[in-house]
């Protein structure tokens, strides 16, 4: 999921969420930052990533994901 400035201003749950809804959530935390948190315990902490690093991470996952069609 590529981040666009002004998009994902609210927490958005991963489309690969478990049946019980436990997964990660992301949101734009600034112009160049993506915030990531655990949906089952959102108050435990937030990790911040540069948008470029987050996009590279997602690209790497999509190349090696066992969930690809």
The HSE-up count of residue 42 (CA atoms within 13 Å, CB side) is 13
Domain boundaries, the chain: 12-64
Report if pTM > 0.85. no
User: pLDDT-derived band of residue 1, with 50, 70 and 90 as boundaries?
Assistant: very low
Task: Look at 54 and 1; give whichever has higher pLDDT.
Answer: 54
pLDDT digit string (tens) for 2-58? 445 456 678 888 776 667 667 888 898 888 899 999 888 888 899 999 999 988 988
């Amino acid at each position: 999921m590529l981040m666009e400035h002004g998009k994902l201003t609210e927490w958005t749950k991963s489309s690969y969420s478990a049946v019980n809804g436990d997964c990660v959530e992301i949101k734009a935390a600034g112009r160049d930052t993506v915030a990531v948190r655990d949906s089952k315990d959102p108050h435990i902490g937030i990790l911040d990533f540069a948008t470029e690093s987050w996009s590279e991470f997602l690209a790497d996952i999509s190349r090696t994901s066992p969930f690809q069609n």
